[in-house]
Amino acid sequence: MPARPSRRILRLRASIVGIEPEIWRTIDVDDSLSLAQLHMVLQVVFNWFGSHLHRFSEDDPWVMSNGIPRIGRQPRAWVDAWSLAEAEIEGEEDEADTTIGEAMQHDGPLWYVYDSGDNWLHRIDLVDRHAARPGEPLAQLISGERRAPFEDSGGIGGYQEIAEILANPSHTDHRSTKAWVATAVGPWATGDLEDADLDGARDELAALFSRAGGDLAGLADASTGVRVDSPIAQFASDLPVPYRSNLRRHLRRSELLTPERLRDEDVAVAVKPYAWLIDHIGVEGLTLTKAGWMPPAVVLEGMTALGWRDDWIGEANREDLTYPMRELRASAERLRLIRKVKGRLELVGRTRPAIGRPAVLAEQIARMLLRQRMTDGQRVASTIFTIGLADGSIATRREAGRQVIDVLNELGYVDSQGRELDQRGFTSLTEPALDVLYALGLWRAGGRRRDVPPTTAVRAIARLALK
In DSSP terms, which residues pair with 13 in a beta bridge? Answer: 26, 125
- How far apart CA 436 and CA 389 sit, in angstroms, is 13
Q: Across the chain, what does the average pLDDT equal?
A: 91
Q: What are phi and psi of 131, to 5 degrees?
A: -70, 140
> What is the per-residue DSSP string for 247-259?
HHHHHHHHTTTS-
Query: Which amino acid, residue 441?
Result: G
- Helices 456-465 and 358-369 pack at an angle, to 10 degrees, of 50
Query: Which amino acid, residue 366?
Result: A
DSSP 3-state of 242: helix
- How far apart CA 251 and CA 411 sit, in angstroms, is 19
Confirm if 117 and 52 have CB atoms less than 8 A apart.
yes
Task: Give this prediction's pTM.
Answer: 0.83
**Which pLDDT belongs to residue 386?**
98
Among 190, 205, 108, residue whose Cα is nearest residue 148: 190
**Which pLDDT belongs to residue 64?**
62
**Which pLDDT belongs to residue 452?**
87
Q: What is the DSSP letter of 172?
A: T
Neighbours of 300 (CB within 10 A): 17
pLDDT in tens, 116-132: 999 999 999 999 999 99
pLDDT band at 73 (very low <50, low <70, confident <90, very high): low
Q: What are phi and psi of 439, to 5 degrees?
A: -60, -30
* Listed range (207-211, 298-302, 386-390) with the worst mean pLDDT: 207-211
Whole-angstrom CA distances from 450 to 333, 369, 395 are 26, 22, 12
**Once rounded to an integer, what is the mean pLDDT over residues 60-75?**
67
Neighbours of 426 (CB within 10 A): 22
pLDDT band at 298 (very low <50, low <70, confident <90, very high): very high
**Which pLDDT belongs to residue 206?**
87
Domain boundaries, the chain: 8-65+73-145, 260-467
**Which pLDDT belongs to residue 189?**
86
Q: What is the DSSP letter of 288?
A: P
- How far apart CA 66 and CA 75 sit, in angstroms, is 16
- How far apart CA 363 and CA 296 sit, in angstroms, is 30
**Which pLDDT belongs to residue 253?**
85
Could you give the angle at the alpha carbon of 125 between the alpha carbons of 123 and 131, nearest 5°? 145
In DSSP terms, which residues pair with 126 in a beta bridge? Answer: 12
pLDDT band at 211 (very low <50, low <70, confident <90, very high): low
Q: What is the DSSP letter of 92?
A: E
**Which pLDDT belongs to residue 75?**
87
pLDDT band at 322 (very low <50, low <70, confident <90, very high): very high
CATH of domain 8-65+73-145: 3.10.290.30
Residues with Cβ within 8 Å of 302's Cβ and at least 6 positions away in sequence, in order, are 273, 276, 277, 280, 308, 325, 328
In DSSP terms, which residues pair with 56 in a beta bridge? Answer: 78, 112
**Which pLDDT belongs to residue 1?**
44
Whether residue 212 has pLDDT greater than 70: no
DSSP 3-state of 382: helix
pLDDT in tens, 148-184: 999 999 999 999 999 999 999 999 999 999 999 988 8
**Which pLDDT belongs to residue 182?**
87
- How far apart CA 409 and CA 326 sit, in angstroms, is 32
pLDDT in tens, 90-107: 678 999 999 999 999 989
Confirm if 8 and 136 have CB atoms less than 8 A apart.
no
Length of the chain counted residue by residue: 467
- How far apart CA 356 and CA 251 sit, in angstroms, is 33
